[in-house]
A and B are shown apart, each in its own frame.
Chain A
Amino acid sequence: MTQTTTLPRTGTGLASVPVCGIDVLSRTLREADAVAHAVVEELRRLGARDVVVATHVSVSCDLPHHTVTVSASGVTVNDTRCALAVVGDQFDVVALVIDASFSGPRELHDGLERAVAAHTRRGEGRVVVFPGYHRLIGTMAVADVIANSDVDRVLVITGAEADPATPLVTRDFVRPLWEDGLLVLHAQPSIGGSLVPFETPFPTPCCANHD
């Protein structure tokens, strides 16, 4: 994406930058997660803090797919351009929102702008990286999940609030959702009275061309 690499450096160390959006037409969550982690890696290299990366669904072009949004502090707008440029070398980036400005095919505009807006207000989205996410490993009590990360609530998918003392087997893979400003981790009953996050790291694949 040449438009992301040739722009002049203009940023001057802002506290945080507007939410960015990246659209590589990911058809699977796994691919969207790979994009998310690549962005995080570059931003961290540039000294970013408070990195939050989320995925969203876009139905632009009658082609439902996942987009990625990212916010961070401690970097300049131009740092994010550079980070996304590096990601653009790894993935076929089709559209971007940087510094509230969209570039890419018009057809992808609405989907990506919607995703950026959802991230900005934390209204919806599947959150891949968030403060404290790296501490959610192994098995820990529900109360400790909430105490050690930005996760606000743990809900069982049948509707009840999870008991704070219940052990949650994280499988080192936690993808909470933004719901009206709160970060909610949905969980389901698992072996021996424990809980596991609703989203499985390796769901059963299927022979059709769906993810």
Chain B
Amino acid sequence: MTHRHDDHAHPHEHAHAPVVEPDPVLDLGIDDGALSQLQVGRRNFLRAAGLLGAGVATMGVLPTVSAAADDAPLRSREGGYRWLAGDHHIHTQYSPDGQYRVIDHVRHAHAFGLDWMVITDHGSAQHARIGVEKVNPDIVAARDAVEDILVFQGLEWNIPAAEHGTVFVHPGPNEVAVLKAFENNYDGVVTATTTSNPGNEAVAVSGLQSLSIAVTNRDVKDALMFANHPARKGLDSPHEIRGWRDAAPGIAVGMEGAPGHQAAGIATPNGPGSGRGYYDNSPSSASFPAYPLASYRTYGGFDWMTSTVGGLWDSMLSEGKPWWITANSDSHQVWSDTSVRGAGSDFATNGFFNDPEHATAPQLGNGDFWPGYYSRTHVGAEDFSYAAVMRGLREGRVWVDHGALIDALDVRLRAGDREVPLGGVLTARQGTRVQLLIRIRTASVPNWSQALPKLAKVDVIRGDVTGAATDRDSFTAPGTKVVKTFDVSAQTGVISLSYDLGALSDGFYVRLRGSDGNRLAPGLGGAAVDPAGPQLDVVGDADPWKDLWFYSNPMWALPRR
């Protein structure tokens, strides 16, 4: 699988000024022979560090500060990008556990402030036969009916031998055909390959490769995959996740840092009284045996793989390869909504539920929020377009938050006159001072619980780049820890922070995390690693509005030798 650097952003650093030239060292379309000796040396280092090649070459920065050429509302332009909020995990009446029409979700998502969204009904026999086609005209109609929001069609893939994942494509004449073929050939339920074994793991890899081929062949303009609720049942082993990443770099690009179903922990009788995110499972025969029991629960609403400093996510980042996090609603049935599934539905036969109907009673047993209501995935896009959202996701210009904790986040890694944004790789001579520059706009308006969120602190998390994992099932990054905490509880408006990361020697990465400070505890790696991380969520009593976090994706700094 080759990545497609011909029609995607060339990775490169850029100077302060928004005029940037492509970096030939990172452009694998340019042969070594065409580079200077110095450039070849630098390229060889990046190769050795596992930081060059498939996938990594698509990371980096787009220099353009594009003019708003469309009519979409300008929400936020931090760092020269339009930060578009979205959600890649939403179910409709075409899911066996869904309820709403496409238009119900699109109108709510738009009202709650999203700019893009992906419809992801579950892969199933009915969906492969009926739903995948029948949902499309609903999506096409919604694109017309509601302006200013990008509506992708995708599906929630039953990953063979593993959990679920979002798969979605760029809109176009073949969007249904590509998704349908993918589902029929590679969905775990449709093809009876859900059992966790090596043969089925290989089917998952083939599925991702088929998406790469579909893009290479221009069947669709673009395709992406994210692993959903990855630690929920221990089904996604570290080697499977690494396998997806490496089989289809630029296609399999990340995972849900925070699962949906964030209302599921609201205590009865006001809510389902379950685990936050419906994370209430135990290890099963299909689970990766080395995962600890602690991995099956959420921490401050986030999945253990992401919330553990020095955990699985960090172990992947320390390889120097991209793997991004998102936060989504997984909206099926909305907490306190006053509608229920349509009467007389026969999903097994029809492949959909009848349109929802009004119910007088608020449905307090539902565990989900509408898209945009609580979870947001913010993507730095060059413009308001489907392609730009997908490119921003692929390049990791992404941060996520819960409960609209902050309005905007602009993060740069800077060395001399070069800098990169989220997802970027900064290269500089050894000894060059590296600075982390952070600009945060605190919440200026109340969130959808009618409270004004208050950011209390910002953590800087740093880890070494140690190269490709020798143990593909590793899920720890021993050197990664919180290196700086900013107390910002007294500040509102635009908060500017900077942190001196010292003189560059070996490669490293940094990422950010912020909290309302309501529920803090030492992390699973101990107080020396994470003195005040997210707390284990209380099963049966987790009010999501009282525990808000944001997480950024990482940036790397690498020495040029």
Q: Give the B-binding residues of A (Cβ under 8 A).
A: 26-29, 57-59, 62-66, 157-159, 175, 186, 188-192, 196, 198-200, 203-204, 206-211
Contact = CB atoms under 8 A, between A and B. Distances in A.
A75 to B, nearest CB: 29
Contact of A210 (B198, B264, B286): B286
Contacts of B292: 157
Among A175, A189, A204, max chain B CB count under 10 A is at: A204
Interface in B58-105: 95-97
A210 to B, nearest CB: 6
11 contacts: A29-B282, A57-B284, A59-B197, A65-B285, A191-B267, A198-B293, A199-B282, A200-B281, A208-B164, A208-B188, A209-B158
A189 B281 contact: no
Contacts of B524: 158-159
B199 to A, nearest CB: 7
A157 B524 CA distance: 10
Interface stretch (B312-320, B390-398, B420-428, B532-540): B532-540
Nearest to B293: A157
Contact of B293 (A59, A64, A186): A186
A208 B281 CA distance: 14
B536 A196 contact: no
A64 B282 contact: no
Interface of B: 95-97, 122, 124, 158, 164, 188-189, 194-199, 233, 235, 264, 267, 274-275, 278, 280-286, 289, 292-294, 296-297, 521, 524, 536, 538-541
Contact of A62 (B188, B195, B274): B195
Contact of B282 (A189, A191, A198, A210): A198
Contacts of B283: 57
Contact of B286 (A64, A191, A192, A200): A64
A210 B233 contact: yes
A211 B286 contact: yes
B538 A191 contact: yes
Contacts of A57: 283-285, 289
A64 B97 CA distance: 26
Contacts of A196: 539-540
Contact of A209 (B194, B199, B521): B194
Contacts of B539: 188-190, 196, 200
Contacts of A27: 285
Given A63-B197, A191-B541, A208 B284 contact: no
A26 B278 CA distance: 24
Contacts of A158: 294, 521, 524, 536
B533 to A, nearest CB: 11
A117 B452 CA distance: 58
A23 B174 CA distance: 48
Contacts of A59: 197, 285
Contacts of A198: 282, 293, 296
